Structures are given as C-alpha cells and as structure tokens.
Structure 1
Amino acid sequence: MVEILLLAAVAIFIFARLFSTIGKQKGAPPPAFRRDEQAEQRPQPVHVVRNPDEVDEEDDSISGIGQISRIDPSFNQREFLQGARGAYEMIVKAFADGDRSSLKNLLNDDIYQDYDSALKQREESGEEPLELMRLKNAAIESGDVRGSMAEVTVLFEAELTNGDRISDTKELWTFERDTKSRNPNWKLSDVSAA
C-alpha cells in the first residue's frame, strides 16, 4: 500500500512538471495576435496550389495574391486557376491550329507578336505543330501588383506531341489584368521555361 502511494506521488510530480513545461508558450505569438507591422516584416510563405480543388479561397499566403485580392475583391484563386488551365489549353490549340484571331483575344500585344513570328517561321519551314496531349498539372507560383496591373504566374506541366514524338514541358506563364478595367479577362503576358 505504501509503495502504491509512493508511486502515485511520483507520477503526480512527473505530470505536474510535464504540464508546467509543455503548457508554457515559447517563441513568437500565433500570427493572429501579431501586430500588422510585425506580420508585414516577416517573409510571406509561398503556398503552391497544385489544382483548383486544393485552393482555399481565404488563403492569401502566396506572395502578392493577398494584394491582388485586396484591390480586386472579385479575384478568386480557385476560379483563376480553373480559367488559367482553360486558357492554357485554348492557347496551345490555337497556336497548333495557327488561329491568330483566337490568340489575339488571349494574349497581350507584346506576346502576340512573339507568337505571330513563331507561326510565320513554322509556316515557312513546314514544321509540324506541337499539340497538347495532356495537361498534367497547373500551380499558382506567385502574384504581383504593379500600379493597377495585377499579374499571376502559373507553372504548367504538360505532355505535348509532334507527330510521333512526345515531350514533357514545364513552363511559367504569367497572366495580367488591369484591375481598373471592367473587362474581367486575364491575358497571357509572358512565357518562360521553368
């Protein structure tokens, strides 16, 4: 009986010490309790969105995305990513078909000139166009605001085919939209290899 009481006393002592150590808050307070200036000084984590179903509409942790949401309350990450996937497919198809009129509606003027030059070279050489086999993944990489111009960069991973040859591609596509414009459509403004 004395042994049981002694073991119980030791157990209570150990639990009390554990609780006093674990129960103490260490480090910085949770983000919700930080003052705004403290939160702005810390680097914002980058959350890569892999597909539209994973997007949390309230998540503005992607660099610049929160800023876009503040100046354009209609901006929605899930809808944007779905639209970007659709735009990717339309642009690749229009380029393969040589459909300049569709490209003109989907690209800004600078990148349209690049696509038009590439189409002219392909038409002169008789080269077979690359066609989309499968869009494997689309992920928002970053966002930015310059004046009233919002930009969102998306990483696309796809399989393209050129006749019998299949190739994997990874590209960063940047879409832009003037937030002061009534036109809700985003246009492709830059493409680079990832």
Structure 2
Amino acid sequence: MAAAVAAAIPSVGKAAPDPLIWASSTSRWVNVMSETSDPTSQILLVAILALYWAMLGSWSQLLSRWNDERAKRDTAAARRDESAEHTSCADMSQDALRKIDPDFDLAAFLAGARRAYEAILRAFAESDIQTLQRLVGPEVLDAFERDIVGRRDRQEMLELTFIRTDETKVVDAFVENGTAEIVVRYVSDVVSVTRSADNAVVAGDPWEIVEMIDTWTFACQTQSRKRNWMLIATEGEQQQA
C-alpha cells in the first residue's frame, strides 16, 4: 500500500527551477541579489519568494491530509472485505449444518464440542487410551498413542491445567459422501508442563499461562440414528499469554 500511495503523490521536491528565483549555484544566487540594485525590484523578489514558500507549505499540508485520508479509506475497505468474507463463511456453514439436520442445535453441539476438547486433552495428558478410543478417529488416535508411548519410554509426565476456554466456534461445515464434518476453532488458556522421572521440568513452565489456538474437525455419519461425533483432524498453534 505504501508504494501505491507514494506513486500517486505528485513529486513536490522535484519541481522545475523557476528562472526568476533559482540559480545554478550559491554564488550565482548572491550575484542576482547584488546585481538588483533597484529597491523596488528587491522587494518584489522577496515577495515572490515569500509567496512561493507559503504555497509550497500549503501544498505539503494538503498532500499529508490527502495521504492520511486515503490510508483511512483503504483500511476501512479492507475491514469491510474481511467482514464480508467472515459473514459469507458463517452463512455457508449454517447452510451446511441445516443439510446435516434441519433441527440441528448449534448451541448444544458447541457445548458438547467444548466438553470433548477438554476431555480429549486431559485423556491425552493422562495417557488414558481407553477414553481417547471413544472420542477420536483412528488417525488421531494413532498419533496420540505414538506420543504417549514416547513419553512413557522417556519416563516423562505431562501436566495440563485448564484455566479457561475463551472461544469455541464453528468455522466450517460440509457434508460429503454421507459424512458430515464440522470444523471448530478453540482458544483456551492452559498451563502445560512436562516433567522427568525425578520431577524436573523438561518443557513448559508451571507458572506460565499459555494461550492455545486449536482447529479441530469432527465427523459423523449422517445416516446414523445416533450421531457420534469423532475427532478426525487437529491443527494448532501456541502463543504466550
């Protein structure tokens, strides 16, 4: 954007020299003043200089205000585009949810998704394979089991404490080949610490609250009379709170 704005601003500092004012060197500029012996001419020359610099200052202020206003318009337009995109995604997700079930209760689903999020992460931290088998799909279960086995081999223990979950929302939903998938975004604050067999801290900080942002995908068979949503994909990032 900076390049585009700069290209649109007229070049003020590179105006063509005015033959009545500018000279090729400082000495020539002094000579012009000294050669103009008529006081009236000198006054006129000074007046022209004053008018020139006044106009130059006004033009610079005008350009500055124009630049600021254009930046504000560009920012507002970008925000409108972003808002429209988010609204469009939300509408598409709602349409997909209605295809899953005309009576689909989004609030109830999100409440269940929030409970599942915390239960799955606690089961993962506690190496509770039995609970994970009921809540996650084969691929996610395989990845979780490999990590749990690695912790056991290293004789490490993962401590996970939930402080709060700030956000649970649907960001996408669709139905394909009889399978409904709903993508949920979570934002939560946790304390995560990995300890060794002698209780030394291997990773994390027991006094640090960390913000976790996860995007999880849940799936179920649309023809099933009892909908059993399973976690089939995970994607996450971690930020210091």
TM-score between the two structures when normalised by the length of structure 1: 0.65
Please list every run of 5 or more consecutive structure 2 residues that lacks an aligned counterpart in the other structure.
Answer: 1-85, 194-205
Q: Percent identity?
A: 26
The one-letter amino acid of 2:235's match is: S
Alignment pair present for 1:145 and 2:189? no
- Aligned residue for 2:88, secondary structure, equals coil
Aligned match of 1:90: 119
Query: Cα gap change, 1:101/1:183 in structure 2, threshold over 3 Å: closer, same or farther?
Result: same
Q: CA deviation at 1:74?
A: 4.0
Alignment pair present for 1:180 and 2:212? no
Deviations 1:17-70 (A, max 9, x none): xxxxxxxxxxxxxxxxxxxxxxxxxx97123xxxxxxxxxxxxx1x24322322
Structure that is richer in helix per residue: 2
Deviations 1:87-107 (A, max 9, x none): 001101111111111100000
**Bigger mean CA deviation after superposition, 90-99 or 161-170:** 161-170
Task: Using CA pairs under 8 Å that are at least 6 residues apart, name the structure with larger relative contact order, 1 or 2.
Answer: 1
Q: CA deviation at 1:146?
A: 1.1
Report the aligned-residue RMSD.
1.9
**Bigger mean CA deviation after superposition, 66-75 or 172-181:** 66-75
**Bigger mean CA deviation after superposition, 123-132 or 181-190:** 123-132
Give the ranges of 4+ consecutive aligned residues of structure 1 lying more than 4 Å apart after TM superposition: none
The one-letter amino acid of 2:137's match is: N
Alignment pair present for 1:157 and 2:187? yes
* Residues in 2 aligned to 1:123 and 1:132: alpha-carbon distance in whole angstroms: 20
* Residues in 1 aligned to 2:223 and 2:232: alpha-carbon distance in whole angstroms: 17
- Aligned residue for 1:45, secondary structure, equals helix
**How many residue pairs are counted as aligned between the two chains?**
138
The one-letter amino acid of 2:227's match is: P
Deviations 1:64-88 (A, max 9, x none): 4322322423421111111100100
The one-letter amino acid of 1:101's match is: Q
